[in-house]
Amino acid sequence: MSYLSGPPKKLNLKKKAKSARSAKKAFSDFIIKKHGSDYVKELKKQRAKKVPKKLLKKLQDPLDQTTVGIIGGGFAGMYAGLILQSLGIDCEIFEASERVGGRIDTWYSTNYDPNNKNKAGLYGEVGGMRIPQFSDDMLPVQHLALSLNAVLKRNKLDDYLVKWRKFYYNSDVQRLRYNDMKAPIEAKDAALNPLNFGVNKGGDLPMVWVTPVKDKAGNKYLPVNKILDKVNAPFLKKINRSFEEGFEYLMQFDNYSMWAYLTNVFKLGDLGEYYNPKMGKRSENLSYNVTSYLETMNVGTGMYSVSFVEMVLAVYDWTGSLNPYDTEDPNIYMVTVDKGMQNFPEACRQVLNLDQGVLPEDGYRAQQLIGMIPGINGKQGYSPDNLTPAAIAPASVPKAAAIPPVEGSPSGRKERVFMNHRVTRVDYDPKLFSKHGGMKVTIKNDRGTQHKEFPYVISTLPNGAYLSGELKTNFFDNLSFAKTRAIRECNYMPSFKAFLTFKNQFWAKLGERRDAGLGVGTSDRSNRQIVYPSYGYDAKEGVLQIYCWAQDAERLGALSDKERVNECLKGIQFLYPEVDVYRAFAGYDPEVTTKTWFWDNHAGGGAFALFAPGQFKSLYPTLLTPEFNGCLNIAGECCSVHHGWIVGALDSAYNAVNNILQQAGATQKIAQLKKTWGSLSEPDVALED
């Protein structure tokens, strides 16, 4: 689930050839090395603690007793469980709701029918909806899908296989309309259009910013659209030259929000060749109005209040949508799960409830198939076997040479995922497990209240969900001061989505753009974005998705459900004045023709973490630090530099499991972890110096 609809529209992404090193992982390492002294000190202390032989045996031998309790059945919780299952370390996962997936959730109209082409497109993604296809950082998500599929095939569970289809991020015919323009325009005509932001059209930008200018090569541009290139250029240049130097420089501005940086640090003179004296003195900063334009066009109302570092690093997540094997390929490549993202976590649940899960050979082969590691020919390639035709890689991407799939044998059942089991309290008891210490977990379900004890607990809830709502008791007591503060202060971003069914797909004629998609339509109305479906264009009916964040989401969310839908309809009508949108609307019928989402009671007040100024160096290492002598690990996308993406949840879960194994000195299990799942996360690299 990304907080941007795509790469910032006014930012040129520098594409580089595929490399083994990731900017985001290097940034994580940098934060730990430079600002994580307490984290490193605490980890060393925990790992020096002697583990009782009985407990160590549980981690090293096939188990008949559960060792790890996992709170939350989102991707972080299930990934941690799948890793433990593959290592022969038993676990139990407690999910408060009636489904798995957490903030990955697909809405299906009650009229949805995957076997009827006219009904097969009546769904939409409430949570995450896409991943960049070739990003080194994001490949673990595809690796997980392939590893699951290997197990599902062995167990004749083909109905749960995870298959990727193409997600159409953008197109030259997606619509834009701002500031009561007389009519919408298409993306192909937008580069030199001032969109009524100029004072001559009733806007607030001096015309010098929105009057076309020619560069030395004779190419026309709008000066306002060059600002973010220049804002980011010094950081990108330094990071590309030296990770260490680049992040050292970037972190000097960690206490700035994006808005504060633009209006207090960046100077008009920094525009270089794009500077014009009519803009103001070289020593002046960007004005409120110019900064407002950049926020409006690139994110959402109020979103520039988040960390400047967060916004710069967003660039690196989006470079993964480009083809790293061909620097001349300008296309964006993204994928989504065929028939809905909800199928992905459900596949996880099916495998977790088997006695035997992912084998080392399954994970190793999956790494080869997607280029995480070289194939048997010594070269990296990309040719996973779970791509639908539209998602097949372009010809410039080499094929992978992977080991043959392991045959294996079907497995028996063993329930590990417990639905409608709400954890309400977690307590540390130093006397448990031969005085190693452990966690007492209180769980409520339809049979009443249960109490369980585990040597280790991994809690994966969003930070807002630690407000239990219970009378007299807290979810956690006696956490360290630093962890308590980090959980309380970690900034989350609100999000709003709505799904509206229409009797006909007026946005595309029947069958049109079936193999090209439409992308995302944008405006300055409260709904902000229309995400067009990437499927179902051969059907008469269709679903449009509304997506916005920050203040726009808060204001829409404050309305009643029907009022939210009314606002969304007005926003769609604004982009389609030639269509009678209200007549095309299939009618307000919750769960049938509409679905809206704002606050989810399991999400705890926000859709995803998005750090405020200063939180990377002040909170990130603290969120990663295990509590209670290593017995409690906190995981989830907030505990990663990949905020708002599935891979952030995966990396944090990997790190939590790694912490447990490192503390126990389970060297063989650590080697098996790396062989099966790769080296996905590197926040502990400082301990290996």
Q: Write the DSSP string, 153-167.
A: HHTT-GGG---EEEE
Residue 354 corresponds to which tokens in the numbers above?
């088997």
Q: 204 and 161 in one domain?
A: no
What are the b/e assignments for 127-141, b being 16+ CB within 10 Å? bbbbbbbbbbbbbbb
Which residue in this structure is represented by tokens 């290996």?
A: 688
At residue 593, what is the residue type? Answer: T
Q: What is the pLDDT of residue 244?
A: 80
Residue 241 in any domain: the answer is: yes
Residue 327 in any domain: the answer is: no
Residue 541 in any domain: the answer is: yes
Under DSSP, the state recorded for 280 is -
Per-residue pLDDT band at 65 (split at 50, 70, 90): low
What are the b/e assignments for 286-318, b being 16+ CB within 10 Å? bbeebbbbbbbbbbbbbbbbbbbbbbbbbbbbb
SS3 of the chain: helix, strand, coil, percent, to 5: 40, 15, 45
Rounded CA-CA distance 162/388 in Å is 11
Residue 644 in any domain: the answer is: no
Mean pLDDT in residue range 81-106: 95
Q: Reply yes or no on whether the pLDDT at 10 is more than 50.
A: no
Query: Cα–chain-centroid distance for residue 391?
Result: 20
3-state DSSP assignment of residue 659 = helix
Q: 219 and 315 in one domain?
A: yes
Q: Is 76 within 8 Å of 100 (Cβ atoms)?
A: no
Q: Which tens digit of pLDDT belongs to each residue from 341-378?
A: 999 999 999 999 999 999 999 999 999 999 999 999 99
DSSP for 300-361 reads -TTGGGSBHHHHHHHHHHHHTTS-TT-TT-----EEEETT-TTHHHHHHHHHHTBSS---HH
Q: Reply yes or no on whether the pLDDT at 686 is more than 70.
A: no
Q: What is the pLDDT of residue 7?
A: 45
Rounded CA-CA distance 251/571 in Å is 39
Q: Reply yes or no on whether the pLDDT at 525 is more than 90.
A: yes
Q: Which tens digit of pLDDT belongs to each residue from 178-208?
A: 999 999 999 999 999 999 999 999 999 999 9
Alpha helices in 370-464 (DSSP H): 432-435
Per-residue pLDDT band at 680 (split at 50, 70, 90): low
Rounded CA-CA distance 546/63 in Å is 48
Q: What is the pLDDT of residue 12?
A: 45
Rounded CA-CA distance 375/92 in Å is 35
Q: 312 and 201 in one domain?
A: yes
Q: 244 and 124 in one domain?
A: no
Q: What is the pLDDT of residue 9?
A: 46
Cα–Cα distances in Å, from 331 out to 132, 172, 320, 321? 12, 12, 11, 8
The domain boundary residue, chosen from 286, 319, 352: 319
Residue 526 in any domain: the answer is: yes
Q: What angle do CA 78, 84, 86 make, to 5 degrees?
A: 105
Residue 110 in any domain: the answer is: yes
Which phi and psi angles does 259 have, rounded to 5°?
Answer: -65, -45
The domain boundary residue, chosen from 597, 612, 647: 597
Residue 661 in any domain: the answer is: no
Bigger pLDDT: 597 vs 516: 516
Cα–Cα distances in Å, from 280 out to 269, 271, 287, 477? 9, 12, 10, 55
Helix axes 53-60, 667-677, angle to 10 degrees: 30
Rounded CA-CA distance 166/392 in Å is 8
Burial of 34 (0-12, 13-18, 19+ CB in 10 A): middle
Torsion of Cα atoms, 21 then 23 then 29 then 31, to 10° = 170
Residue 198 corresponds to which tokens in the numbers above?
């100029």
Q: What is the pLDDT of residue 58?
A: 65
Q: What is the pLDDT of residue 601?
A: 64
3-state DSSP assignment of residue 422 = strand
Q: 185 and 120 in one domain?
A: no
DSSP for 197-236 reads -BGGGT-SB-HHHHS-EE-TTS-EE-GGGGHHHHHHHHHH
Residue 651 in any domain: the answer is: no
Secondary structure, 3-state, 129-153: CCEECCCCCCHHHHHHHHHHHHHHH
Nearest to 83 by CA among 672, 626, 668, 645: 672
Q: Reply yes or no on whether the pLDDT at 20 is more than 60.
A: no
Q: 146 and 126 in one domain?
A: yes
Q: How many structural domains does the chain have?
A: 2
Q: Reply yes or no on whether the pLDDT at 14 is more than 50.
A: no
What are the b/e assignments for 492-505, b being 16+ CB within 10 Å? bbbbbbbbbbbebb
Q: Which tens digit of pLDDT belongs to each residue from 266-287?
A: 999 999 999 999 999 999 999 9
| Domain housing 181 | 175-319
Count of positions (residues) in the chain: 689
Q: Which tens digit of pLDDT belongs to each residue from 584-610?
A: 999 999 999 998 887 676 776 678 999
Q: Is 381 within 8 Å of 375 (Cβ atoms)?
A: yes
Rounded CA-CA distance 185/547 in Å is 20
Q: 202 and 117 in one domain?
A: no
Q: 213 and 309 in one domain?
A: yes
Under DSSP, the state recorded for 278 is G
Kindly tell me the number of DSSP H helices and DSSP E strands found in the chain.
Answer: 21, 24
Q: 201 and 158 in one domain?
A: no
Q: What is the pLDDT of residue 33?
A: 87
Mean pLDDT in residue range 224-238: 92
Torsion 402-408-410-414 (CA) sign: negative
Q: Reply yes or no on whether the pLDDT at 221 is more than 90.
A: yes
Nearest to 627 by CA among 465, 482, 419: 482
Rounded CA-CA distance 509/540 in Å is 9
Rounded CA-CA distance 231/213 in Å is 19
Rounded CA-CA distance 291/28 in Å is 29
Mean pLDDT in residue range 283-294: 98
Q: 204 and 268 in one domain?
A: yes
Under DSSP, the state recorded for 585 is B
Give the other-Cβ count within 10 Å of 415's Cβ: 10
Q: What angle do CA 628, 632, 636 make, to 5 degrees?
A: 140
The domain boundary residue, chosen from 268, 286, 319: 319
Q: What is the pLDDT of residue 34?
A: 87
Q: Which tens digit of pLDDT belongs to each residue from 414-472?
A: 999 999 999 999 999 999 988 889 999 999 999 999 999 999 999 999 999 999 899 99
Q: 288 and 207 in one domain?
A: yes
Q: What is the pLDDT of residue 682?
A: 53
Give the other-Cβ count within 10 Å of 416's Cβ: 23
Q: 193 and 167 in one domain?
A: no
Rounded CA-CA distance 178/575 in Å is 9
Segment holding 571, helix H or strand E: helix 561-575
Residue 265 corresponds to which tokens in the numbers above?
């640090």
